[in-house]
A and B are shown apart, each in its own frame.
Chain A
Amino acid sequence: MSVRRPPGTLAAAALIARKDLAIEFRTRSAFLAALTFSLIAIVIFFFAWDATAVGAVDLAPGVLWVIFTFSGLLGLHRSFGVEEADRAIDALLASPVDREAVFLGKALANLAFVLGVQAVAIPAVALFYNLPLTRVIAPLAGIAVLAAIGLVSVGTLFSAMASNTRLAELLLPVLALPFFVPIVLPAAQSTARLLSGRPVVEAMSWLRILIAFDIVFVVACALAFPFTLED
């Protein structure tokens, strides 16, 4: 029997991401829950405001990005919750892969999850709020990806921490939401600029914050992740 070498960091990350997505694809529990939650929230938000006083175009960016963070939380907290059952996390840690690869793999699976929800939620908001989506679809997709990277890097780290505490999923929003402020605010503000027909350049100062946040927190969370695992 030939000796198989352990996979490199990126290959291991891809394997872990594939494992998580396979679990999710076979159960579909969290994805459908997050999707349904998003659609219900989109509808409820519309009725929470007086449609004759606040225009749907003014309401949409805020609704979109608030729902984005909350549905993201739904996916994030099971990212490590699923490893707690039968202490699957122990097997993951005992396997010959870097801790960074575990973080990267988890984060990639979460990214796919969040972007999957976005791919349905953004058209749904456009439909219900009557937005000129075709005109802004490319820059809006870019904002969604930038926001998702930041959300997922912080969220994956905090999910690993929260799953090890007595409060478990209750703790995740308490820890993560303040960190989502520099994501939601720039994303909502630049979306608002785009939807009101302004050029992308006007949103650049917001997008710069988003890009800087992504760079700083992807690095910081990857470095901090090994500290959140049992030694």
Chain B
Amino acid sequence: MTSSNRIADRDRFDWLLAAAVVAMVATFARVIYFTPIEARQGAAQKIFYLHAPSAFIGLYVGFGLVALAGALYLWLRDERLDRIAASSAEVGVVFTTVVLLTGPMWGKPIWGTWWTWDARLTLTLFIWFVFVGYLILRGAIEDPATRARYSAVLGVLGALLVPFIHLSVYLFRTLHPMPILLKPGRPSLPSDMLATFAMSFISLSLLFVALLRARYRLAETRDALEAEDSADVSSVASLHAQPVR
């Protein structure tokens, strides 16, 4: 009963998500109106405030959590860990998609091309492929325990794959230098820009946590419903199984 009470509570307003949305709006306002335009790159540089924090959160936190929760699941077999992994993968894919969309928008005016086979870009794209595959795998399995085991295996192997892809694309790039590697080393940001960056990083982290929590609750509700359904089916089946008197 307690679990259904907890789930009934979920219909209430998600304050954390609302706070994250407000923080994002405030961040965008600051980025657009109250942060100076960069001298060499112009307005395009402002994409950086969305791009860089999303990359860090999506790639390191999001997918790191998938691998970690997967490894722990294989050890502890706690379904909560599987829900964390699933939620983190979904939110991580959203953040990484933002990275892959905002990157070319910046690349076109600054590098002069939408895409280049730079090591970082290539690695990000392949990690994105692995985790889209992860979500497709989850969608293709009905049984919750099998789904959890398979996706945990894929999550852990995905984390093992990352250094190998990194090594090979890095070697590939250094052997074939691109003519447009104008990407500057991280410039020391003026304090205005640094403050905006910090604010953006915090709001996006908040958004990640809020989305993760909302998605986790959805998974919990879904599992509870599925359990109820199967309980109904088995009770109906036992009714039919009774001999007619």
Contacts and interface: CB of A to CB of B under 8 A. Distances in A.
Contacts of A231: 145
Interface string A148-160: 0000001001000
Interface stretch (B15-23, B96-104, B160-168, B199-207): B160-168
Nearest to A154: B157
A204 to B, nearest CB: 11
B136 A171 contact: yes
Interface string B67-96: 000000010000000000000000000000
B215 interface: no
A48 interface: no
Interface stretch (B1-9, B169-177, B183-191, B230-238): B169-177
A220 interface: yes
B48 to A, nearest CB: 27
A166 B141 contact: yes
B66 to A, nearest CB: 14
Contacts of B142: 166
Contacts of B129: 177-178
Interface in B141-161: 141-142, 145-146, 149-150, 152-154, 156-157, 160-161
Given A166-B141, A171-B140, A206-B171, A182 B161 contact: yes
B149 A227 contact: yes
A161 B150 contact: yes
Contacts of B32: none
B169 A185 contact: yes
Contacts of B172: 185, 189
- Interface size class of chain A, counting residues whose CB lies under 8 Å from the partner chain: 20 to 34
A230 B150 CA distance: 11
Interface string A38-76: 000000000000000000000000000000000000000
Given A171-B137, A209-B164, 14 more contacts: A157-B157, A161-B150, A164-B141, A166-B140, A175-B133, A178-B129, A181-B169, A182-B168, A189-B171, A221-B157, A224-B157, A227-B150, A228-B149, A231-B145
Interface of B: 74, 126, 129-130, 133, 136-137, 140-142, 145-146, 149-150, 152-154, 156-157, 160-161, 164-165, 167-169, 171-172, 175
